[in-house]
């Protein structure tokens, strides 16, 4: 029984030592690419991109959640752009107000490697017309009003 205990202890100690030497990666993560929704407005969404260097990113938008397993498919059928570290991407093409969307994004890290596929759900906001039009005065034949136009970005 004593021999069995010492052998099990020895195997456990060897496993622990292997984990210490080979479990640590001193170079860090190979892919530090990530995306997150920063802000969603009535007809736009701002996406925060974190990347260690400039990378090619592809994304697709859909109103239904679906399973996307192939990064090559996203690059083939989605929008492609090059982003720098800590860029903010503004997406407004094809978005409607007060709608649930799913953004699927992936980065091409090098010739053969892609990052994981990120699925970001977000909902576009509604237009708030109370902030756009302010009625200043009412007359018998009409209104006097002030229009506040949003600043373009």
Kindly report the pTM of this predicted structure: 0.65
Helix H or strand E segment including 58: strand 55-62
- DSSP assignment of 100-146: EEEEEEEEE-SSS-B-PPEEEEEE-----HHHHEEEEEEETTEEEEE
For 69-98, the DSSP string reads --HHHHHHHSEEEEE-TT-EEEE-TT--TT
Q: What is the pLDDT of residues 1-19, one digit of tens each?
A: 666 656 656 555 566 565 5
Residues of the chain with pLDDT under 50: 24-30, 153
Residue 27 neighbours by CB under 8 Å, 6+ apart: none
The CA angle 65-79-100, to the nearest 5 degrees, is 30
pLDDT score recorded for residue 6? 64
pLDDT (0 to 100) of residue 25:
45
pLDDT at residue 136, rounded to an integer: 77
Residue 14: its pLDDT value, please? 65
pLDDT at 10: 56
3-class DSSP assignment, residue 57:
strand
CB 42 within 8 A of CB 97: yes
Q: What pLDDT is recorded for position 137?
A: 81
């Amino acid at each position: 029984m004593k021999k069995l205990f010492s052998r099990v202890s020895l195997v456990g100690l060897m496993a622990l030592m292997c984990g210490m030497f080979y479990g640590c990666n001193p170079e860090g993560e190979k892919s530090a690419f990530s995306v997150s929704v920063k802000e969603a407005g009535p007809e736009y969404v701002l996406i925060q991109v974190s990347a260690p260097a400039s990378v090619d990113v592809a994304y697709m938008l859909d109103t239904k959640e679906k399973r996307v397993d192939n990064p090559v498919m996203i690059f083939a059928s989605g929008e492609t752009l090059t982003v720098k570290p800590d860029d903010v991407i503004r997406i407004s093409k094809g978005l409607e107000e007060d709608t649930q969307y799913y953004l699927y994004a992936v980065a091409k890290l090098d010739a053969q490697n892609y990052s994981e596929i990120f699925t970001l759900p977000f909902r576009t906001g509604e237009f708030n017309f109370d902030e756009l039009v302010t009625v200043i005065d009412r007359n018998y034949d009409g209104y006097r009003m002030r229009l506040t136009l949003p600043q373009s970005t």
